Amino acid sequence: MTHKVFQCIHCHMRFGVPEAAVGGEGQCPGCGSVVPLPPEAAMEMIPSDDGIATLIPFKNTAALLSYYLGVFSLACMLFLGPPAIILGIIGLVNRAKNPSIHGTAHAWIGIVLGSITTLLGIAAVVLVIIALMQG
Ligand SMILES: [Zn+2]
């Protein structure tokens, strides 16, 4: 299968797009923006396995959800961090069972962000408790 290369109009990351997706829209693997994929904007043909990032892994739902929960958990702290970690692990398992679905990077981002926000959330709670005890 061949891919066409597009460049994100927002973050300028280059990514491969399966030929079948050209003409529609895709989600940038770098910044998550939905970008149009007009045929005239395609830069070149590349073999599918040259290491360039490919479009966001819609097929690996758990990895994708983990990624978004991880990102959103930055805002909401404790509540979304743990599910982001769990979904990230599920995403990695899915990916291990079926490598064609991709999603490893998103799963890891979800796990890492989920872990960070969970720890930050716990730290915030501890700080509040300490403050209350001292008050
Ligand atoms: Zn982008």
Q: Which sequence spans correspond to the domains of the chain?
A: 2-48, 52-134
Residue whose pair of structure tokens reads 């700080």 in the numeric block:
127
Q: Residues 3, 46: contact at Cβ < 8 Å?
A: yes
Q: Residues 123, 131: contact at Cβ < 8 Å?
A: no
DSSP per-residue string spanning 25-90: EEE-TTT--EEE--GGG---EEETTSS--BS--TT-HHHHHHHHHHHHHHHHGGGTHHHHHHHHHH
Per-residue pLDDT of the chain (135 residues; tens, 9 = 90+): 567 888 888 888 888 888 888 888 888 888 888 888 888 888 765 554 555 555 555 567 777 788 877 777 666 666 677 888 888 888 889 888 888 888 888 888 888 888 888 888 888 888 888 888 887
Calculate how far, in angstroms, residue 52's C-alpha sits from the geometric centre of ligand 1. 14
pTM for this model (two decimals): 0.40
Calculate how far, in angstroms, residue 124's C-alpha sits from the geometric centre of ligand 1. 32
* pLDDT computed for residue 56 by the predictor: 54
* pLDDT computed for residue 75 by the predictor: 64
Calculate how far, in angstroms, residue 7's C-alpha sits from the geometric centre of ligand 1. 8
Distances in whole angstroms, Cα of residue 44 to Cα of each of 34, 39, 58, 84, 121: 20, 11, 23, 36, 45
Calculate how far, in angstroms, residue 131's C-alpha sits from the geometric centre of ligand 1. 41
Calculate how far, in angstroms, residue 63's C-alpha sits from the geometric centre of ligand 1. 18
Instruction: Look up residue 117 and give its two tokens.
Output: 């926000």
Calculate how far, in angstroms, residue 30's C-alpha sits from the geometric centre of ligand 1. 5
Calculate how far, in angstroms, residue 15's C-alpha sits from the geometric centre of ligand 1. 9
Burial of residue 78 (number of CB atoms within 10 Å: 0-12, 13-18, 19+):
middle
